[in-house]
């Protein structure tokens, strides 16, 4: 059964803006992470649990394309979508949009791998089949 994931919502804070009164570009990458953590919590197998069980998932690449400016006090929605997942690597896509107007603010993706505490690659399909299934249950077909 497919798990329905709701978009993550973030209210822009003053400290996230720059001298031009718009959100500094680096914050979008932070929002990707906030949304990714929320995504995994919603799917039923969060980062905290995964790390407690000895698996970490570092970012190996991240890309962002800025479409329009976001300002202090606005609320954005962040949709996360699995683009690729094979149990060893995971690529997620992000769409950040204004919650009131639906105007696209930023889109991007992040790529991750799975490793154990010693830094060795892990196939979560074999090592953590419950996590693998939770992730598969969120993928749109």
Residues assigned a catalytic role: 18
Q: What is the C-alpha separation between 95 and 81, in angstroms, rounded?
A: 9
Q: Cite the DSSP H helix spans in the chain.
A: 26-43, 47-52, 124-127, 129-136
Q: Which DSSP string corresponds to 8-49?
A: EEEEPPGGGB-TTSBB-THHHHHHHHHHHHHHHHHHT--HHH
């Amino acid at each position: 059964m497919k798990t329905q994931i709701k978009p993550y919502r973030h209210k822009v804070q003053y400290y996230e803006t720059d001298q031009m009164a718009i959100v500094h570009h680096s914050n979008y990458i932070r929002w990707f992470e906030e949304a990714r953590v929320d995504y995994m919590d919603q799917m039923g197998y969060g980062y905290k649990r995964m790390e407690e069980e000895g698996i970490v998932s570092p970012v190996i690449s991240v890309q962002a394309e800025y479409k329009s400016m976001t300002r202090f006090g606005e609320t954005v929605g962040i949709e996360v979508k699995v683009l690729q997942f094979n149990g060893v690597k995971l690529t997620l896509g992000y769409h950040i949009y204004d919650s009131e107007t639906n105007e696209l603010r930023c889109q991007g993706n992040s790529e991750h791998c799975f490793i154990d505490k010693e830094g060795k690659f892990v196939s979560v399909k074999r090592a953590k089949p419950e996590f693998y299934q939770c992730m598969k249950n969120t993928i749109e077909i």
